[in-house]
């Protein structure tokens, strides 16, 4: 968690863009203390004849879908969150003249593992340790 | 909303097919007054050795997954809806001798923006205006 | 159901690997009497500059996301299930030195068809017939 899927028109992003975009996305989660390695970002380049919006070839359109797993956003915080995200990604969307659509789904924490480990509860000491180590590990006996 | 992902075997669809398929998909939503630009359709071509059904290379198989966001289908209407959809897409599935599987997920309306705007409530005057303009915009002060 | 999406680094899997991996995934469901043809597995090869974990190019990383439709796992069985799955896929993940993340979502059974048919209830006689035939069909009048 989260898994970001970024679909972009052929040629819209360079390798450097993708690197920086991925770092920005990661930053919005690490700011709230999520382990950096929780954040996966996949970029998918779409030729013009494979992406349609409103029945027409989508030109200059960025389509992003995200699965959130480790955190469940309370409804009343969703606008605060989405505004942050849209501002964060603006250098790769609005500021380049792209149109963009973004939606997030929530998926169950119980059906999620990393390297076979079950991620610890949100904001727990174990999660802080994972964040510090930037890798998953066995619970520490206390 | 909705986001359609259509996976098809290499060579099954031409550019013209994809264009017409996308228009058909869009039509089933605009028929119920959704703004056309809400409807995104992505086509993904899958070489034979990348798609397996029942542990065997899927041959002539169309696999579609959809995220619905703007509307939540009441359970008792789901068959009415799915039958419509399957009939609509028949020229690109059954009528060509393909097998096809289709499933739809619902994702939260609160975690969805287009060009940074929050889509207005279903069937609201604002949504009608978006549909008419075929683009998102700021709420009009009343 | 289920739909497995396996993202892997360029060159990590051969055609034979994908075939065997898909068979293994299928086996974990048919073991519990699901029809084999319910199990779809798609493999997506990701060049290094298209997949980032923690803001860095993901190297040797397998990312799997799954949609479950036909069965809803009770919360208390999720670890039993995930442990099985992780053990099953180990020859293609841990045992090759890959890191891997896996998450599963649940999607509504009502919004799912195969070849236009509505899959029968879990563990019903109809479902057993579908499993035996390894294809969907009209309900048999009784």
Distance set, CA C13 to CA A6, A25, A26, C60, C92 (Å): 24, 29, 28, 11, 8
Q: ipTM score here? A: 0.95
Q: 3-class secondary structure for chain A?
A: CCEEEEEEECCCCCHHHHHHHHHHHHHHHHCCCCCHHHCEEEEEEECHHHEEECCEECCCEEEEEEEECCCCCCHHHHHHHHHHHHHHHHHHCHHHCCEEEEEEEECCHHHEEECCECCCCCCCHHHHHHHHHCCCCCCCCC
What's B88's domain CATH number?
3.30.429.10
Q: Has residue C88 been placed in a domain?
A: yes
- The answer to the question of residue A140 being in a domain is no
Per cent of chain C over pLDDT 70 is 98
Report the residue from C41, C67, C112 with minimal CB separation from B52.
Answer: C41
Among residues 56-95 of chain A, which lie with CB inside 8 Å of chain B? 56-58, 63, 65, 68, 73, 75, 78-79, 81-82, 86, 94
Would A68 be classed as within a structural domain?
yes
Residue range C16-59, pLDDT digits in tens: 999 999 999 999 999 999 999 999 999 999 999 999 999 999 98
Query: Above pLDDT 70, what percent of chain A?
Result: 98
Residues whose CB falls within 8 Å of the CB of residue C13, separated by 6 or more in sequence, listed in order:
C21, C43, C45, C92
Q: Does C142 fall in a domain?
A: no
% of chain C with per-residue pLDDT over 90: 91
Q: Give the model confidence (pLDDT) of B23-60 as tens digits.
A: 999 999 999 999 999 999 999 999 999 999 999 999 89
Residue B98: inside a domain: yes
CA atoms within 13 A on the CB side of A50: 20
- Tell me if chain C has a CB within 8 Å of the CB of B109: no
- Residue A105 forms contact with B (CB below 8 Å): yes
pTM summary value:
0.96
Q: Residue A135 above 90 pLDDT?
A: yes
Q: What is the mean pLDDT of residues A113-138?
A: 96
A–C CB contacts, 8 A cutoff, strictly below: 99
Contacts of B89 by beta carbon, 8 Å cutoff, 6+ apart: B21, B24, B25, B64, B100, B102
Mean of the per-residue pLDDT values of chain B: 95
C68 inside domain: yes
Which whole number is the average pLDDT over C68-94?
A: 92
CA-wise closest residue to B6 among A82, A52, A128, C33: A52
Taking an 8 Å cut-off on Cβ atoms, the answer to whether B78 and C107 are in contact is: no
Total structural domains within chain C: 1
**pLDDT in the model for residue C142:** 61
Collect all residues of chain A within an 8 Å Cβ-Cβ radius of residue C81. Answer: 111
Q: Is residue C138 in a domain?
A: no
Residue C75: pLDDT over 90: no
CB contact under 8 A, B111 and A94: no
What integer pLDDT is reported at residue C73 of this predicted model?
79
pLDDT surpasses 80 at C64: yes
Domain that holds residue B61: 3-133
* B138 found inside a domain: no
Q: How far apart are CA A86 and CA A84, in angstroms?
A: 6
């Amino acid at each position: 968690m989260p898994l970001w899927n970024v679909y972009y028109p052929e040629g819209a992003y360079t390798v450097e863009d993708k690197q920086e975009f991925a770092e920005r996305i990661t930053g919005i989660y690490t700011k709230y203390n999520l382990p950096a390695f929780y954040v996966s970002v996949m970029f998918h380049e779409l030729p013009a004849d494979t992406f349609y919006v409103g029945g027409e070839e989508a030109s200059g359109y960025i389509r992003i879908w995200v699965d959130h797993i480790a955190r469940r956003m309370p409804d009343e915080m969703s606008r605060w969150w989405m505004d942050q995200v849209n501002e964060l990604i603006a250098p790769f969307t609005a500021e380049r003249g792209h149109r963009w659509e973004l939606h997030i789904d929530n998926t169950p924490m119980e059906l999620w593992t990393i390297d076979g480990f079950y991620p610890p509860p949100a904001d727990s000491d174990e999660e802080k340790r994972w964040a510090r180590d930037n890798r998953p590990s066995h619970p520490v006996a206390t």
